[in-house]
Structure 1
Amino acid sequence: MLQAAGLSAAEETTYLSLVRQGGAPLPQLADRVGLTAAGVRRAVAGLQRKGLVHRTPPPHERVVPVPPDLAVEQLVRRRMEELERTREAAHQLADEAQHLVANRRTEELIEIVSGRAAVGRAFDRIQRTARREMRVLVAPPYAKPTEVNRTQLDREAAGVSYRAVYDAAALADRDMAAAAATHLRAGEQARLIDVLPTKLAIADQELALLPLAYATAAHDAALLVHPCGLLDALIALFETVWTLATPLSLADADTPRADSAISGSDRQLLSLLVAGLTDEAAAARLGVSRRTVVRRVQHLMELTNARSRLQLGWQARERGWL
C-alpha cells in the first residue's frame, strides 16, 4: 500500500500496525509485527526519518504514529519533488547527450546486435525510443512470433503514430494478417507492396534497426543505427517505399485488404489526363462537371500519396492503372 511512497515492507507493516492498533513500546511492537528487536528498531528509525512516527520520552517510551492524512501527504509530496528533480536531471543529461551526437566516433553510430532474443529486445527499444512516429517495413522472417505487437499498442495509446508497409508474403501468413488487422484497428496506417527491399524499423529521426542479412537468419543479427548519413538514407528509403505501396484497409471479414482497385471511370479519367486533356475537356468527355474531375483527381493523389499530377501519372503507370 505504502511501498510506492518509499517505505520498505517492514516500515509499512510497522506503521500500519501503529495506525490500526495504537502506539506501543518497542518490545510490544516487535511482537505485534513479528520482527526482531533490531528489526523493529530499524523500521521505527526509518519511519521517524520519513516523519511517520514519533517517540514519547522515557521512562514510558512509546512509538506513536503521525495521523496518515498528514504524514502520508507530506511523504507523497516529498516523493513527487524527488521524482521531479530526477526528471529535470534526465532532461539535462539528454541535452548533454544531444550535444555529443555530432562528435560521436564512427563505431558509436552503429551497433551490432547478435542473437534472436537480443534483436527482439532491440525492436522493443526502438519502439520505446519513439516519441512521435514509428516507421516499419514488415516482412518475414521474424525475430518474435507472428503475434500482436503489444508494445506498439502501448506506444499508440501514448500518442505515437505508426506507419507500416507490409511485404505481400507477410500478409499471406494467417497469424500475421490477424495481427495486422489488430494494428489497423488501433490506428496504424498501413500499406502493401509486392516485395520489400529489406526489413526496417525507424523511431522518429533518432534510431533505426535493420537486419544484417535479408534472409532466413535475418532475425539473428541486426544493426542499430544512430543519427548519421545512413539513418537519413534509411528514412528516405522508407518514404520511397511508402509512396509506391498501396493503402491497406479492413475488409468486411475484418482482414487487411489492399485498396488497389480503382473504378473504370477513374481509370478513364487518368487516361484522358495523361493524354494531355485539360480538366474542362476531360469533364466534357466524361459528362461530368469540372469540379467533379478536380475532386476525383484529388482523391487519386491522396490514394497514391502523390504531391503533383506528374507524380500521380507516374504512380498510375507503376500500379498498372493506365
Structure 2
Amino acid sequence: MLQVLGIDSESESVYAALLTKRPVSLDDLAGTTGLPPARVRMALRRLQSSGLAGRRPGRPVTYIAIDPEVALDGLLLRRQEELHKARVRAGEFSERFRRAAATRDPAEVIEIVTGAASVLQRSEQLMRNVRHQLRVFDKPPYLDGGNPNQAELDLLSRGVIIRGVYDADSIDVPGRQELVRMWMEAGEQARVLANVPTKMALVDDRLALLPLRAGSGPDPSPSFVILHRSAVLDALSALFEALWAVAQPLHPQGSDDDSQALSGEDQLLISLLTAGLPDDAIARQADLSYRTLQRRMHALMERAGASTRFQLGIHAAANGWVTGVKLGDEPHPERDRLGRPGRT
C-alpha cells in the first residue's frame, strides 16, 4: 500500500509492527514479522531514512515508530512536489517535441508497427495515453480473441469521452454484443453502420492507429500505421465525424426511447434493417427464423404502404420508427465458445 511513497512491502510490515509495540528490539521485530534479522535491519534503515522510524540508545537497541500523521504526510507532500516537477518537465518535453514536429521530415509523421504482439502492445500504450477523447471505427477481423477491455473501462471511469462506430458485421460476431453492452453501460457512445471503411482509433486529435492492409482475414503478421499530427490525421477525423452523423445509435435492449409507434420487437427489426444488416444477421439478432423474419418484414411493409425495403426505410425514418439499434439480452449459443475480441 505504501509502495507509492517509496516504501517497500517488507519495510511496511516492519513499520506496522512498530506501531503496536513501543519501543521494540530488532529480535522482537523479526519474531513478529517472520523476517530474518538481517532483512529487518535493512528495513529499519530504510524506515529511518524515510523519517518513519527512530532509534533509541541502550542495550539492546530499540526502535520506535514516528507518528504516521506526521511522517506519512511529509512523504506525501514530498511525492506531490516530485510529481509536480515531473509534470512541468513533461510539459517542456512535449513542447520541444511539438516544435521539432513542425519542421521534421514528412516521412516521420508515419510510424509503421509490424507483428501482432507489437501492434497489440502499441495499441494498449496508445489507449493508456488518451487524455480527452477516443474515437473508434470497430470492424472485424480482430487480432486478439481475449478480453482486453479494462483499458477502455479505465478511460471511461476517468471521464474520457469514447465514441465508437461499429461495422454491421462487428456486432454479429459471437460474444460481441455482451462486450459492446458492457462498454456502453460504462459510458461509451456507440453507433452502427452498414459498412465501416476500416478499423481505426483516434487518440484525441494527436494520433491515429489503423491497419496498413485491410485484408479479409486475420493477418499472421499484421502491419498497422500510427499517424501523428498532420493533414491526413485531420482528414481521418473529418471522416469519423461524417460517418458518426449518419450511423444508427446503438442501445442496450430495454433502454427507454421516445417512439411508441412500434413494438419493441418491430423497432429492433427496423433499426437493424436501416443499419444495413443482411437478413440472416437480422434474424440472428432478433432470434427469429428466416421465414418468420420475412413474414414480419412483409407485415411492416404493408403497414407502411411500402413495396420495397428502401421505401420501408424511408417511411420508418419519416415517422419516427428509427430509434437506433438495440442489442439483445439473450445469449447466442456460440458466444460462450469464443473470447471477446478487442479493438485491434
Length-normalised TM-score, structure 2? 0.66
Letter in 2 for 1:65: A
- Shift of the alpha carbon at 1:137? 1.2
For the Cα contact (< 8 Å) 1:113–1:119, is it kept in 2?
Answer: yes
**Alpha-carbon distance in structure 1 between the residues aligned to 2:184 and 2:16:** 48
The aligned counterpart of 1:225 is 227
**Worse overlay, 223-232 or 252-261:** 252-261
Q: In structure 2, which of residues 247, 250, 255 is the aligned counterpart of residue 248 of structure 1?
A: 250
Q: Which structure has greater helix proportion?
A: 1
Q: How does 1:307-322 map to 2 (within 5 A)?
A: none
The aligned counterpart of 2:334 is none
**Worse overlay, 136-145 or 178-187:** 178-187
Letter in 2 for 1:230: V
Encode CA deviations 1:168-225: one digit per residue, 9 max, x unaligned: 2112224223322333333333332222222111111111111111112458221111
* Matched residue SS, 1:64: strand
Letter in 1 for 2:208: A
Aligned length: 272
- Shift of the alpha carbon at 1:258? 4.5
The aligned counterpart of 2:49 is 49
* Matched residue SS, 1:213: coil
For the Cα contact (< 8 Å) 1:131–1:160, is it kept in 2?
Answer: yes
* Matched residue SS, 2:178: helix
The aligned counterpart of 1:23 is 23
* Matched residue SS, 2:196: coil
**Alpha-carbon distance in structure 2 between the residues aligned to 1:225 and 1:232:** 10
After superposition, the Cα gap between the structure-2 partners of 1:95 and 1:149, relative to the gap in structure 1 and judged at 3 Å, is same
* Matched residue SS, 2:175: helix
Identity %: 33
* Matched residue SS, 1:20: coil
Letter in 2 for 1:205: D
The aligned counterpart of 1:236 is 238
Encode CA deviations 1:67-86: one digit per residue, 9 max, x unaligned: 33332332333233333333
After superposition, the Cα gap between the structure-2 partners of 1:85 and 1:142, relative to the gap in structure 1 and judged at 3 Å, is same
For the Cα contact (< 8 Å) 1:148–1:182, is it kept in 2?
Answer: no
Q: Which one has more relative contact order, counting CA pairs under 8 Å at least 6 apart?
A: 2
For the Cα contact (< 8 Å) 2:109–2:227, is it kept in 1?
Answer: yes
Structure 2 residue 187 is matched with structure 1 residue 190: no
**Alpha-carbon distance in structure 2 between the residues aligned to 1:200 and 1:66:** 54
**Alpha-carbon distance in structure 2 between the residues aligned to 1:149 and 1:65:** 43
Length-normalised TM-score, structure 1? 0.70
Letter in 2 for 1:9: S
For the Cα contact (< 8 Å) 2:143–2:218, is it kept in 1?
Answer: no
Letter in 2 for 1:233: A
After superposition, the Cα gap between the structure-2 partners of 1:228 and 1:39, relative to the gap in structure 1 and judged at 3 Å, is same
**Alpha-carbon distance in structure 1 between the residues aligned to 2:72 and 2:239:** 54
For the Cα contact (< 8 Å) 2:26–2:41, is it kept in 1?
Answer: yes
RMSD between superposed Cα atoms in Å:
3.6
Larger Rg: 1
The aligned counterpart of 1:76 is 76
- Shift of the alpha carbon at 1:60? 6.1
- Shift of the alpha carbon at 1:96? 2.5
**Alpha-carbon distance in structure 2 between the residues aligned to 1:146 and 1:31:** 45
Q: How does 1:284-299 map to 2 (within 5 A)?
A: none
For the Cα contact (< 8 Å) 1:248–1:259, is it kept in 2?
Answer: no
**Alpha-carbon distance in structure 2 between the residues aligned to 1:64 and 1:189:** 55
User: Which runs of no fewer than 5 residues in structure 1 stay unpaired?
Assistant: 266-270, 272-295, 304-322
After superposition, the Cα gap between the structure-2 partners of 1:183 and 1:63, relative to the gap in structure 1 and judged at 3 Å, is closer
For the Cα contact (< 8 Å) 2:26–2:37, is it kept in 1?
Answer: yes
For the Cα contact (< 8 Å) 1:126–1:208, is it kept in 2?
Answer: no
For the Cα contact (< 8 Å) 2:22–2:64, is it kept in 1?
Answer: yes
- Shift of the alpha carbon at 1:147? 5.3
The aligned counterpart of 1:205 is 205
**Alpha-carbon distance in structure 2 between the residues aligned to 1:195 and 1:157:** 30
